[in-house]
């Protein structure tokens, strides 16, 4: 029984910091470095993050989400549930262009889909290696729910290899869990590392 217990020693709580007091110089340098890392990633990946609007014959309703361009010739990675049952797709870029798209591939068990738009020379994000991720690593979620500019939130990888039940009821294995807050419409947008490489696709809030 005792072999399964990990004892934790709690130190006396330190006095609370004065919230009105400026950060120490070394802390300010760390904060500035963190800010520069996040803004550099947004500058690099943001133009490749798109807004997706769908018209659906089933139910006559529209849906919206995000996606990320992964090749300059117009392949866009997103969630399957964003494009499921869509009979028309519009992909809006941050430069103001709106392009029509078609579903080029889908994999409902992993909630992933690929859209193809008929345009070349598009800004594309680099794909990373999700197998090399470590718990505690910084991660940044980028979305584009409105088609004008990116929404950004940052946090850390909180767990790896988790399972998640998709909207269709299927179980998705090997999911990356983060504490990154997702804004409405960010489904299908990329989760990226500090080098701007796509390490996952945001699929649940």
Which of 66, 80, 81, 166 is catalytic? The answer is: 81
Residue 187 catalytic?
A: yes
Question: Tokens 């110089």 belong to which residue?
Answer: 25
Of 111, 150, 153, 166, the catalytic one is 111
Let me know if 111 is a catalytic residue. yes
| 80 catalytic residue (yes or no) | no
**Strand partners for 86:** 56
Rounded Cα gap, residues 185 and 201, in angstroms? 13
Closest CA to 48 of 92, 84, 82, 114: 92
Identify the active-site residue in 66, 153, 166, 187. 187
User: Please, what is the end-to-end C-alpha distance for the chain in angstroms?
Assistant: 37
List the structure tokens of 135: 């718990």
Catalytic residues: 81, 111, 187
């Amino acid at each position: 029984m005792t072999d399964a217990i990990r004892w934790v020693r709690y130190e006396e709580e330190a006095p609370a910091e004065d919230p009105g007091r400026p950060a120490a110089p070394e802390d300010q340098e760390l904060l500035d470095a963190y800010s520069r890392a996040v803004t550099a990633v947004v500058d690099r990946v943001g133009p490749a993050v798109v807004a997706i609007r769908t018209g659906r014959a089933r139910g006559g309703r529209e849906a919206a989400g995000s996606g990320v361009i992964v090749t300059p010739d117009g392949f866009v990675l997103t969630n399957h549930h964003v494009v499921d049952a869509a009979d028309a797709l519009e992909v809006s870029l941050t430069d103001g262009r709106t392009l029509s798209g078609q579903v080029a591939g889908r994999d409902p068990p992993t909630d992933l889909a690929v859209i193809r738009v008929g345009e070349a020379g598009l800004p594309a994000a680099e794909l990373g290696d999700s197998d090399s991720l470590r718990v505690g690593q910084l991660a940044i979620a980028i979305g584009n729910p409105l088609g004008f500019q990116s929404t950004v939130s940052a946090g850390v990888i909180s767990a790896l290899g988790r399972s998640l039940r998709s909207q269709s009821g299927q179980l998705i294995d090997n999911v990356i869990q983060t504490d990154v807050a997702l804004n409405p419409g960010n489904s299908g947008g990329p989760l990226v590392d500090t080098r701007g490489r796509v390490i996952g696709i945001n699929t649940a809030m």
